[in-house]
A and B are shown apart, each in its own frame.
Chain A
Amino acid sequence: DTAVSQTPKYLVTQMGNDKSIKCEQNLGHDTMYWYKQDSKKFLKIMFSYNNKELIINETVPNRFSPKSPDKAHLNLHINSLELGDSAVYFCASSHGGQGGRNTGELFFGEGSRLTVL
């Protein structure tokens, strides 16, 4: 069973379109993340949800909107796609924690490679 699964794995679309990437985890984690990986392989946090509540919202264009229907799912919707949105998007999950408590590993999905033409 895949622990963190994201779909689709590949997405090729035209500028101006709207697209969604879905993510599901079956690990019972309470925290999920969306990361954007640039061409230099650097992972940049976009959003994080803890128990369906948005807790991290980095400087990301309003065209990106996360949705968490339950704590096992975190979807990413992107409106009016631009060329610069082309990247690999990774979903991840972990147990959230507070102050000094080692709360477990970070599990990643396989990534969704978005190409905007």
Chain B
Amino acid sequence: KNEVEQSPQNLTAQEGEFITINCSYSVGISALHWLQQHPGGGIVSLFMLSSGKKKHGRLIATINIQEKHSSLHITASHPRDSAVYICAVRPYTGNQFYFGTGTSLTVIP
């Protein structure tokens, strides 16, 4: 069983739609990261969260530490948002990161 579970695995949306990607984890963490990987591209960090909510442009990330759950929201989605979104957590102890299996998002014009 993976320490980090993401849903959905695949998501297709029409341009302009509001999108939510969910992440649940099973370990105590010091931080949660949302990462983005465009097709054939590198991996970039979108957010690092340890509590509450963060917003960057059309992207919003929230975390509920008690429920061990985080969501990534994209408002007014655009085809350029098409990418794989990966949730990663850093446990309290050690230098390891645990990764979700990723959510592949396709936004259709």
Contact = CB atoms under 8 A, between A and B. Distances in A.
12 contacts: A41-B37, A41-B86, A42-B99, A48-B96, A99-B30, A99-B93, A100-B92, A102-B30, A103-B90, A106-B35, A106-B88, A106-B90
A43 B87 CA distance: 11
Nearest to A104: B48
Contacts of A98: 93
Interface of B: 30-31, 33, 35, 37, 41-45, 48, 50, 84, 86, 88, 90, 92-97, 99, 101-102, 104
A99 B88 CA distance: 17
A110 interface: yes
B84 to A, nearest CB: 5
A43 B84 CA distance: 12
Chain A interface size band reads 20 to 34
A101 B43 contact: no
B92 A99 contact: yes
Secondary structure call for the A interface = loop
A104 to B, nearest CB: 7
B69 to A, nearest CB: 18
Contact of A41 (B31, B48, B102): B102
Interface string A72-93: 0000000000000000001010
Interface of A: 31, 33, 40-43, 45, 48, 50, 55-56, 90, 92, 94, 96-111
Given A105-B48, A106-B45, A42 B97 contact: no
B96 A56 contact: yes
Given A41-B37, A45-B97, A97-B30, A90 B92 contact: no
A103 B104 contact: no
Contacts of B90: 97, 103, 106
Smallest CB-CB A-B distances: 3 pairs: A110-B42, A108-B43, A43-B99
Contacts of A43: 86, 88, 99
Given A90-B43, A104-B48, A106-B33, 15 more contacts: A40-B102, A41-B104, A48-B96, A55-B94, A55-B95, A56-B95, A100-B30, A100-B92, A103-B31, A106-B90, A106-B97, A108-B35, A108-B42, A108-B43, A111-B43
